[in-house]
């Protein structure tokens, strides 16, 4: 079930960024904005802070908007939102789904390094949600954690 949620959220983000006539910058991707239908299909909601930008435009100057802890630290510092800002937030949400805990809030750019440290040690699966008691597809979990970590490393200036 968790992988379907991850795929649904990723599909929603892809649609907003690539498949609409303009790029939709959501600017507030966080767990409480991910809704599940009766079949546990993920829907990305609350587009109240969203902005449309042309696909060839790299960023959008804006007032600070979003939720601290999920907001790309570069976006927060420069007030320039981009598609990469939403990818960062997506990575943070995936980390929370896979690990079953919130990543450190208030430490800009430190949401995923602890996962990467485990990856380098060859034991990335040790950060998987303990409540799963090791009962998960190991390859699937590793892929989710690597994608999550990569997303949380994607800063707006990268």
Radius of gyration of the chain from Cα atoms? 15
Is 129 noted as a catalytic residue in this protein? Answer: no
28, 37, 54, 72: which one is catalytic? 28
Helical H segments across the chain, by residue range: 2-14, 73-78, 83-99, 113-120, 138-153
24 near 47, Cβ under 8 Å?
yes
For the residues of 82-113, what is the DSSP string, one character each?
-HHHHHHHHHHHHHHHHHSSPPPSS-TT-SSH
- Report the relative pairing of strands 60-61 and 80-81 from DSSP bridges: antiparallel
Catalytic residue positions?
28
């Amino acid at each position: 079930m968790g992988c379907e949620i991850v795929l649904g959220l990723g599909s929603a983000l892809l649609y907003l960024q690539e498949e609409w006539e303009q790029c939709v910058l959501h600017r507030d991707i966080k767990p409480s904005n991910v809704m599940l239908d009766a079949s546990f299909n993920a829907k990305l909601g609350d587009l109240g802070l969203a902005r449309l930008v042309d696909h060839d435009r790299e960023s959008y100057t804006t007032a600070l908007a979003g939720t601290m802890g999920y907001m790309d630290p570069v976006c927060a510092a420069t007030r320039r939102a981009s598609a990469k800002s939403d990818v960062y937030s997506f990575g943070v949400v995936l980390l929370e789904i896979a690990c079953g805990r919130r990543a450190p809030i208030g430490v800009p750019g430190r949401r995923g390094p602890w996962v990467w440290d485990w990856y380098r040690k060859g034991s990335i699966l040790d950060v998987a949600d303990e409540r799963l008691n090791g009962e998960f597809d190991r390859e699937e979990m590793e892929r989710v954690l690597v994608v999550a970590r990569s997303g949380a490393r994607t800063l707006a200036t990268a």
